[in-house]
Amino acid sequence: MLDQLELQLEELEATASQDEAVAQIAACKVAGTPGFERCRPSRQPFPERLPRERRVITAPCACPACGGKRLSRIGEDITETLEVIPRQWKVIQTVREKVACRDCQKISQPPAPFHVVARGWAGPSFLAIMLFEKYGQHQPLNRQVERYGREGVPLSLSTLADQVGAAAAVLEPLHHRLAAHVMSAERLHGDDTTVPVLARGKTATGRIWTYVRDDRSFGGPAPPAALFFYSPNRAGEHPRQHLPIGQGFCRPMPMAVMPGSMMLAANLG
């Protein structure tokens, strides 16, 4: 419902801006008729971390009014425009030269460079973008395939799916390290959130279980971290599998259920 309301608000804003632009163009054709001005929300300044490209429009060398050339600079006006550089694709060719020894008749060659995925054709930046689009921006692979095709890079859905599966296997040790760090916290915060899941003929409701370690408000030196798990339902067996009960790692305390959220308190065993 929130997504639909945001989409409707976006369409209303775009329509209002279009109507305002049309009104301004029509007002310019009528002498002495002021154009309609819509109240706009204040825009936040652009982040300082963004690089700035300075384009200077030089002042005239002579006064346009009298033609005098004794001009002195008194200031400048700066207008900032946000711009983006389109994504560029490239193919990196790694050439490994072969040499033969004339003394021992042996052939030598430098070793192959490291690939994130064994015998993989996708570079690390492309893998990171593909995974972030799928899991961070909720863009399925079929939409990514269509967008890549419009950019002149035809790729099949099965090809991207193979790369996602291989990258997930490569990142699994990092997930285990993150899980060990989060679950060893003295205080553990948990929450389950509903997520729509496509099913045959309907939309099912899955669960995203989130466990957070953040002791900064308690003066803890450990860095904060969040751990995510998915389950098709809200059965209690899922958090029992997530929390390492009986392994001497942590002992969960009784849960206090609040509307819309769940707090889990844990202390060291």
Average pLDDT, the chain: 81
Which pLDDT belongs to residue 250?
Answer: 42
Cβ contact 182:225 at 8 Å = yes
Q: Are 250 and 192 part of one and the same domain?
A: yes
Where is average pLDDT lowest: 38-42, 109-113, 133-137, 215-219?
38-42
Structural domains of the chain, count: 2
Q: Is the pLDDT of residue 112 over 60?
A: yes
Which pLDDT belongs to residue 251?
Answer: 41
Nearest to 166 by CA among 203, 218, 130, 113: 130
**How far, in Å, CA of 137 to CA of 130, rounded?**
10
Q: Are 132 and 202 part of one and the same domain?
A: no
Mean pLDDT value across residues 232-254: 67
Task: Give the range of the structural domain holding residue 260, as residue numbers without chain letter.
Answer: 184-268
pLDDT tens, residue by residue, 212-233 = 999 888 888 899 999 999 999 8
Mean pLDDT value across residues 90-115: 91
- State how beta strands 266-268 and 250-252 pair: antiparallel
Q: Write down which residue in 148, 164, 183 finishes a domain.
A: 183
Local confidence band at 149 (pLDDT 50, 70, 90 cut-offs): very high
Mean pLDDT value across residues 26-30: 65
Q: Is the pLDDT of residue 4 over 80?
A: no
Please check whether residue 70 lies inside any domain of the structure: no
**How far, in Å, CA of 122 to CA of 113, rounded?**
13
Cβ contact 89:153 at 8 Å = yes
Q: Write down which residue in 139, 154, 183 finishes a domain.
A: 183
Q: Write down which residue in 161, 183, 205 finishes a domain.
A: 183
